[in-house]
Chains A and B, each alone.
Chain A
């Protein structure tokens, strides 16, 4: 046991060190990208309040530090970041960090629930399909998952909203909870849960299809390997071969996929939160875009990158726990 803890720490340490230059690249590139915006956040703000003269604009720019040269601003930004200061959102007139942390929990709740559901259901169905590659069950599940994975998330959300919220009126159409209902504790949790069923369901459905396909493909590949034959030759029960030998190995590419998809899911949350009016991180990105709020958008991208990095780190540690060959310090005897 001690061995695997050591391995985990070593892997974590290496990854954190390797992440710093990557994060720097993200920050610099994002900053450079948003620099090319013609007209900045102050212009957008003035537009939204119906105009203003040059002095007002100048004053605002000075206040937000938008009047200095680009390298100077980059340096200022980096030093602010070191103090965990992500700047100030012009559109919301609040520190970015505060905004982000206010909205992040909702998105994390959405994504975590969807991932857990998709992983559980997807791997279970994938095992069912992969237990007998080429069987009728396998072909049905494979075809179904192919079609589901082809569905655009936002469209699926709309369709589900139409069916369940509008026609059947089983579930609420928008928001994360019923506003000003004054609920607390378990009742509030139940209310939030009801509001999350459709958005989580939409995301989960699509990712279930993906994880099903990955698990199934993994298993189909592993059946061809010699150790599956050797397990048969030992006369083990089918259940044991399928679960303990084949699926256990097919889990590895699936876990890798979890890490790779975390970025995509975060991106997907933008549209889902938009459709279901969830006040989350993804929605914040859309608001930043429409408000031409450079500081906010930069902050969002950087926080997303950090989030994905952390998820990947966790996934790597889990992967190392599942695969004894990773980070092994003992060479062959």
Chain B
């Protein structure tokens, strides 16, 4: 039984007088507790797809079934109530957090809005969340802007799991982080998935990141999904030109001076 089924999603917009098809006939599915990696070069539409699925941008066509409901048909307070089941982690760049937010206020928001725990328990829940993601409890009062990149993403993950979601969409969530930090965050995500049975839709242009934690990988190009399948298979045997380009582009740690693209 799939957690999320998207069928024939489309998204058009006008850019400088021309119609651009950001998404064209996109269909995918995601089971509970599974990670689907969404890869593509910039402009392939993967971020647009993430925004359409999280209802940040309206779709121009298609259907989405999420947790047994017609996801795109919801609106207003009905939508807001159910949003707790699908959360998002953004890329850590300037503008990802309200300049005024503290760690505690950022974690309090989801707990309050979705009444995850009674009010008296919230502080304890916040401490528990921080502990789970590896941020010292003493940081609760600090402004988020004062944290390092890795710590900010940990707080972002804590905020995302606070509502006990079934699905988290991650849009280039580790791309801006140092390599050593990145590895820790990926480990955290995998651990959380196994503990809490959360499905991930992980958007990235870096196949090596996707390989680390995806069960299946879908490749996007020019607004369409051009290839999809089990992660190991797509990477070992890429069929489409887009997939091949993405596989070739990953630098390998070999000391020989070979040209990067493996020609």
Direct A–B contact present (CB less than 8 angstroms): yes
> Residues on A close to B: CB < 8 A?
328-331
Closest to B43 in A: A332
Across the A-B interface, the 8 shortest Cβ-Cβ residue pairs = A331-B16, A331-B15, A329-B17, A329-B16, A331-B18, A328-B16, A330-B16, A331-B20
Q: Shortest distance in angstroms between A224's beta carbon and chain B's nearest beta carbon? A: 15
Q: List 8 A-B contacts (CB under 8 A).
A: A328-B16, A329-B16, A329-B17, A330-B16, A331-B15, A331-B16, A331-B18, A331-B20
C-alpha gap A222/B17 in the complex (Å): 30
Which secondary structure characterizes the binding site on chain B? strand
Residues of B14-28 contacting chain A, CB below 8 A: 15-18, 20
Q: Shortest distance in angstroms between B223's beta carbon and chain A's nearest beta carbon? A: 15
C-alpha gap A330/B15 in the complex (Å): 9
Closest to B15 in A: A331
C-alpha gap A331/B18 in the complex (Å): 8
C-alpha gap A331/B16 in the complex (Å): 6
A330 partner residues in chain B, CB cutoff 8 A: 16
C-alpha gap A112/B239 in the complex (Å): 68
Q: Assuming A331-B15, A331-B20, what are 6 further A-B pairs, CB within 8 angstroms?
A: A328-B16, A329-B16, A329-B17, A330-B16, A331-B16, A331-B18
Q: Shortest distance in angstroms between B20's beta carbon and chain A's nearest beta carbon? A: 8
Q: Shortest distance in angstroms between B42's beta carbon and chain A's nearest beta carbon? A: 11
Closest to A328 in B: B16
A328 partner residues in chain B, CB cutoff 8 A: 16
C-alpha gap A331/B15 in the complex (Å): 7
B18 partner residues in chain A, CB cutoff 8 A: 331
Closest to A10 in B: B17
Contact with A along B20-55 (1 / 0, CB 8 A): 100000000000000000000000000000000000
> Residues on B close to A: CB < 8 A?
15-18, 20
C-alpha gap A331/B17 in the complex (Å): 9
C-alpha gap A328/B16 in the complex (Å): 7
Closest to B17 in A: A329
C-alpha gap A329/B18 in the complex (Å): 9
Q: Which interface residue of B15, B16, B18, B20 has the most chain A CB atoms within 10 A? A: B16
B20 partner residues in chain A, CB cutoff 8 A: 331
Closest to B20 in A: A331
Q: Which interface residue of B17, B18, B20 has the most chain A CB atoms within 10 A? A: B17
B17 partner residues in chain A, CB cutoff 8 A: 329
C-alpha gap A30/B20 in the complex (Å): 44
C-alpha gap A99/B227 in the complex (Å): 75
B15 partner residues in chain A, CB cutoff 8 A: 331
Q: Shortest distance in angstroms between B202's beta carbon and chain A's nearest beta carbon? A: 27
C-alpha gap A330/B16 in the complex (Å): 7
C-alpha gap A315/B17 in the complex (Å): 24
C-alpha gap A329/B16 in the complex (Å): 5
B16 partner residues in chain A, CB cutoff 8 A: 328-331
A329 partner residues in chain B, CB cutoff 8 A: 16-17
Q: Shortest distance in angstroms between B17's beta carbon and chain A's nearest beta carbon? A: 6
C-alpha gap A45/B20 in the complex (Å): 65
Q: Shortest distance in angstroms between A179's beta carbon and chain B's nearest beta carbon? A: 58
Q: Shortest distance in angstroms between A324's beta carbon and chain B's nearest beta carbon? A: 13
Closest to B16 in A: A331
A331 partner residues in chain B, CB cutoff 8 A: 15-16, 18, 20
C-alpha gap A331/B20 in the complex (Å): 10
C-alpha gap A329/B20 in the complex (Å): 14
C-alpha gap A201/B20 in the complex (Å): 54
C-alpha gap A203/B20 in the complex (Å): 50
C-alpha gap A328/B20 in the complex (Å): 16
Q: Shortest distance in angstroms between B136's beta carbon and chain A's nearest beta carbon? A: 35
Q: Shortest distance in angstroms between A252's beta carbon and chain B's nearest beta carbon? A: 20
Q: Shortest distance in angstroms between A330's beta carbon and chain B's nearest beta carbon? A: 7
Q: Shortest distance in angstroms between A332's beta carbon and chain B's nearest beta carbon? A: 9
Q: Shortest distance in angstroms between B48's beta carbon and chain A's nearest beta carbon? A: 16
C-alpha gap A329/B17 in the complex (Å): 7
C-alpha gap A329/B14 in the complex (Å): 12
C-alpha gap A51/B263 in the complex (Å): 102
Q: Shortest distance in angstroms between A301's beta carbon and chain B's nearest beta carbon? A: 37
Q: Shortest distance in angstroms between A14's beta carbon and chain B's nearest beta carbon? A: 12
Closest to A332 in B: B43
Q: Shortest distance in angstroms between A23's beta carbon and chain B's nearest beta carbon? A: 27
Closest to A330 in B: B16
Q: Shortest distance in angstroms between B19's beta carbon and chain A's nearest beta carbon? A: 11
C-alpha gap A115/B260 in the complex (Å): 59
Q: Shortest distance in angstroms between B15's beta carbon and chain A's nearest beta carbon? A: 6
C-alpha gap A204/B48 in the complex (Å): 52
C-alpha gap A13/B61 in the complex (Å): 35
C-alpha gap A330/B20 in the complex (Å): 13
C-alpha gap A166/B18 in the complex (Å): 65
Q: Shortest distance in angstroms between B186's beta carbon and chain A's nearest beta carbon? A: 31
C-alpha gap A330/B17 in the complex (Å): 9
Q: Shortest distance in angstroms between B21's beta carbon and chain A's nearest beta carbon? A: 13
C-alpha gap A174/B137 in the complex (Å): 76
C-alpha gap A189/B20 in the complex (Å): 59
Q: Shortest distance in angstroms between A326's beta carbon and chain B's nearest beta carbon? A: 11
Closest to B18 in A: A331
Closest to A331 in B: B16
Q: Shortest distance in angstroms between A10's beta carbon and chain B's nearest beta carbon? A: 10
